[in-house]
Structure 1
Amino acid sequence: MTDVVLPCLNEAPALAWLLPRMPAGYRPIVVDNGSTDGSAQVARGLGARVVAVPRPGYGAAVHAGTVAADPVDGIVCVMDADGSFDPADLPSVADPVRAGAARLAVGRRRPVGRGVWPPHARLGNAVLARRLRRTTGLRVHDIGPMRAARRDDLLDLGLVDRRFGYPLELLIAAAGAGWEVTEVDVAYHPRAAGTKSKVTGTIRGTARAIRDMSAVLAR
C-alpha cells in the first residue's frame, strides 16, 4: 500500500471529490494543518487517515505525513489537496521510483484550460526552476507540488524547512545527494469550488512562497 500525503488547510470541498478517486493501492493521509472548515471530519468520513499538525506551514505538514507513512511499501507520494491534481496520475509519478529508475519523481504541471495557472504564479515557478537548473544541473521545470520518493530516503535527507521552501529544499538536497530526479507530466485542473490556493490564488501568496524558497536558495 502506497501512502499519499495530502497537506490540508480548509480543503473540505476538494476532499469530497478527491478522496473517492484514489487509485487502488494508494492510501490517503490527510495532514490537517489547522483547518476550520471541517476538513478533518470530511476526510475521516471518507475513510482517510487524518494526522493533525498544529505547527503551521506546508513543510511541517509534509514532514509529519512522511513520518506517519507506513514504511512497509516504502514509497510516499505527496500532492496538493485542493483538487487541482487528479489522483489518477499518482501511479505515473510513483512508477519511476518503484522501478528504480529515479530516487525522486516530480510532477510537471500541464494546465488543462486557460486561467488554471495564473501568470504571476507560473512566472514565479519558472524563475525558480531556471535558477535551480542552473545551480544544480537538475532537468526540472516545476518545483514539484506532486511527487514521489521512498520514505526513508526523504527522512534521511534531513530537510529542515517547514514552510513553502520545503519543495525547493528537497530538490536541492536530492541534487546534492546525487539522486536521479525525473519529471512526469501531470494534468493541472481548476481547484474545487470553495477552495483557494495558499500560493497561486493571490499575488501575496505567491510572493510569500517565493520569499520562502529564495531563503532556501540563499542557504
Structure 2
Amino acid sequence: MTVDVILPCLNEEAALGWVLERMPDGYRALVVDNGSTDRSADVAREFGTQVVHEPRRGFGAACHAGLLASSADIVCFMDADASLDPERLPIVAAPVIDGHADLVLGARRPQAAGAWPWHARLGNAVLARTLRRRAGVVLHDLGPMRAARRSRLLELGLTDRRFGYPLEMVLRAAAAGWRIAEVDVDYLPRVGRSKVTGTVRGTLRAVSDMRRVMAELG
C-alpha cells in the first residue's frame, strides 16, 4: 500500500532534505509549495518528489491543494520543517490502515527544551480543552501529523484555507461520527524560525483562526 504524505511548504529549503530522506518505504511525499522564495521546490525535485504549486497563501490552502493532488487511498499530513520525524508516520497511519480509526492525530511530545514554545503550547491546550467540551472529542493536541482516508476527507467539505483547517477537519469529522484517535509522536526543534509557533503573534493568529472556525461550526 502506498500512502501519500502532504507537506505544506513555505521556505523550508534547510529542513526539507532531512524530511524527505527519512520518508519510510511506501510513503510518498507530496510537497505543496505555498509561494516559497528559496530553493524548497528545487530540493523536493532533487529527491524526485512531486511538487504542487499553491499560489494562494495559507496553511489550509496548501494542505487542501495537496489533498486534491494526492491519489493514494490513505493520506498523511505533516510539517516540512523537521519538527516531526517522518519515521513516525507508520505509527500514525496504522490505525487507519487497520480499520480501527478514521482519523489519527500525532500528539506532540517535545524532545528538547524550546521545541514547543510556551505560548504555542498554551494556545494549543486551550483549544484542545474547548474541543473536548464542545465536541466531545478527547484529544490532547491538535497536531499537524495526521492520517485519514482521502475520499472521506474530501467528503467533509473542508472550506477553511488558513490556520483553522486542522481544527475544521477534527470538528467536521466528529460531527460525521468518525472514530478519532491520537498517538504520541516526537516533537523536535524545528529548522529555522516557525511562521506560527516561533512568535507570540503567529500563535495568536493561528488561535484566532481556530476560534473563528469553532464559532462557525459550533
- 1:23 equivalenced with 2:24 (yes/no): yes
Q: Residue type matched to 1:69 in 2? A: S
Q: Residue type matched to 1:186 in 2? A: V
* SS across alignment from 1:183: strand
Question: 5 Å matches for 1:118-129?
Answer: 118-129=117-128
Alignment deviations for residues 108-165 of structure 1 (CA, whole Å, 9 cap, x no partner): 0000011110000000000000000001111101112110000001000001000000
TM-score normalised over the length of structure 2: 0.97
Alignment deviations for residues 36-81 of structure 1 (CA, whole Å, 9 cap, x no partner): 011001110111110000011000000010111114xx10000000
Q: Residue type matched to 1:203 in 2? A: V
1:151 and 1:167 map into 2 onto residues whose CA distance is 15
2:55 and 2:114 map into 1 onto residues whose CA distance is 33
* SS across alignment from 2:207: helix
Q: Provide the residue aligned with 1:62 in structure 2.
A: 63
Contact 1:82/1:196, CA 8 A, preserved across alignment: no
1:139 and 1:162 map into 2 onto residues whose CA distance is 24
Q: Which runs of 5+ in 1 are unaligned?
A: none
Q: Provide the residue aligned with 2:100 in structure 1.
A: 101
- 1:212 equivalenced with 2:213 (yes/no): no
Q: Provide the residue aligned with 1:83 in structure 2.
A: 82
Alignment deviations for residues 77-104 of structure 1 (CA, whole Å, 9 cap, x no partner): 0000000000000000000000010000
2:44 and 2:13 map into 1 onto residues whose CA distance is 8
Contact 1:159/1:166, CA 8 A, preserved across alignment: yes
Q: Provide the residue aligned with 1:201 in structure 2.
A: 198
Q: Residue type matched to 2:98 in 1? A: A
Give the C-alpha shift of residue 213 in structure 1.
0.4
Q: Provide the residue aligned with 1:40 in structure 2.
A: 41
1:60 and 1:152 map into 2 onto residues whose CA distance is 18
Q: Which runs of 5+ in 2 are unaligned?
A: none
- The aligned length equals 215
Q: Provide the residue aligned with 2:140 in structure 1.
A: 141
TM-score normalised over the length of structure 1: 0.97
1:66 and 1:184 map into 2 onto residues whose CA distance is 22
Identity of aligned residues (%): 63
1:101 and 1:133 map into 2 onto residues whose CA distance is 21
2:180 and 2:143 map into 1 onto residues whose CA distance is 11
Q: Provide the residue aligned with 1:8 in structure 2.
A: 9
Q: Provide the residue aligned with 2:50 in structure 1.
A: 49
Q: Residue type matched to 1:207 in 2? A: L
* SS across alignment from 2:14: helix
2:65 and 2:33 map into 1 onto residues whose CA distance is 10
